[in-house]
Copies of this chain bind each other. A is one copy, B any other.
Amino acid sequence: MSGPAVEPATPYLRVDVSRLRANIERTARWAATAGVSLRPHAKTHKSPEIARLQLAAGALGLTVATIGEAEVFVEAGAEDVFVAYPLWLTEAGARRVRDLADRADLAIGVDSAEAAQQAARLLEGSGVAALVEVDSGQHRSGVAPAGAGAVAAAAVEAGLPVRGVFTFPGHSYSPDALRTAAADEARALQAATASLRAIGLEPDVVSGGSTPSLAHTHTDELTELRPGVYVFGDAQQWELGTAAPGDLALTCRATVVSHAGGRLVLDAGSKALGADRAAYATGWGRLPAYPDARVVQLSEHHAVVDLAGAPLPRLGAHVDVVPNHVCAAVNLADTLWADTGSDTGGGLEAWPVAARGRNG
């Protein structure tokens, strides 16, 4: 799709396509060398264009968080989609999943015998398979690893095929936990695998992965990884040390609208950047052109920046901000503006955020 002749109004999200491609290819090569499959989480980009780049680079399939996201990517041609979420299926939800399973290989997450039995009843004969979610230390959803076998047994007995186990080591989002979360992940998946074998089930898929812990993955314990953020990086990854500033592929282009009180005020607020701020974050986003600067105040349409002594850019100047959490920023935008550089003479292409807001 061709972009417009004029630049979009700020604030808008820009994708540096050469960095994006480099991130996708680097991780694909790493996974291939390590002998694990990649099933990238598409919730980060919500974009069929980017999913196609991932699949072209060798990804086995896609991960999504919701049935609505699965619908967007299957519609766009994805043939193998895993809803990595402990779905509680309603009859309406099950009809949607069955429709998807007519067009693609579809798997869903379960983390209780009841949810597995409900899915088995509503998805009978659909060919949909389940993976049992285990908690590897984030303490969000997922059964204790040793309990995976019981959930799997309930699923199989009710008629829902079980393909394996999965976890999300989300506690890796902390500067001191990258390596330990990866170790927790390996231990949990090993225990879950043992728990399945104890009921006579050999898992085909042992799935984990998060962008911060990726480089520390015990790849001998896993068959598949589902990172999402690695395609773009963001200020969280920058501050965790898991993305170099030169690899960050998505920024929010903002305009300097005010110098009130000697402050730098940009028109990119929480409605463009997202309001995520982890405990370890040093602000509400980072500015690549001003590595020492911090976004010290964020409201819906204003970012107030402490420039750490750098001279104020003039009113009307453009300043790029890297959002703290790129998944949240993308989910606020209808379009990613892809800077394809020399490929198309420097124009911006509009890439629809096709799965934006597909929460259910």
Chain A contacts to B: CB under 8 angstroms: 6, 8-12, 43, 65-68, 85-88, 90, 92-93, 111-112, 114-115, 118, 133, 135, 139-144, 170, 255-261, 263, 265, 267, 269-272, 274-277, 297, 299-302, 304, 315-316, 325, 327-328, 331-334, 357, 359-360
Contact = CB atoms under 8 A, between A and B. Distances in A.
Give chain A's interface secondary structure class: loop
Given A115-B258, A334-B357, 18 more contacts: A8-B360, A9-B67, A9-B92, A43-B300, A66-B301, A85-B267, A85-B301, A86-B265, A87-B257, A88-B267, A112-B315, A135-B261, A139-B263, A139-B297, A140-B297, A141-B265, A142-B260, A331-B332
A228 to B, nearest CB: 10
Contacts of A267: 85, 88, 359-360
Nearest to A335: B357
A6 B300 contact: no
Given A66-B301, A276-B270, A360 B261 contact: no
Given A85-B301, A115-B315, A140-B260, A357 B333 contact: yes
B139 A261 contact: yes
A311 to B, nearest CB: 16
A142 B258 CA distance: 8
Contacts of A315: 88, 112, 114-115, 118
A66 B118 CA distance: 46
A270 B275 CA distance: 9
A129 to B, nearest CB: 19
B135 A12 contact: no
A321 to B, nearest CB: 13
Contact of A112 (B43, B258, B272): B258
Given A359-B272, A360-B11, A92 B6 contact: yes
A109 to B, nearest CB: 10
B141 A258 contact: yes
Nearest to A253: B360
Contacts of A300: 43, 65, 327-328, 331
A119 to B, nearest CB: 12
Contacts of A325: 275
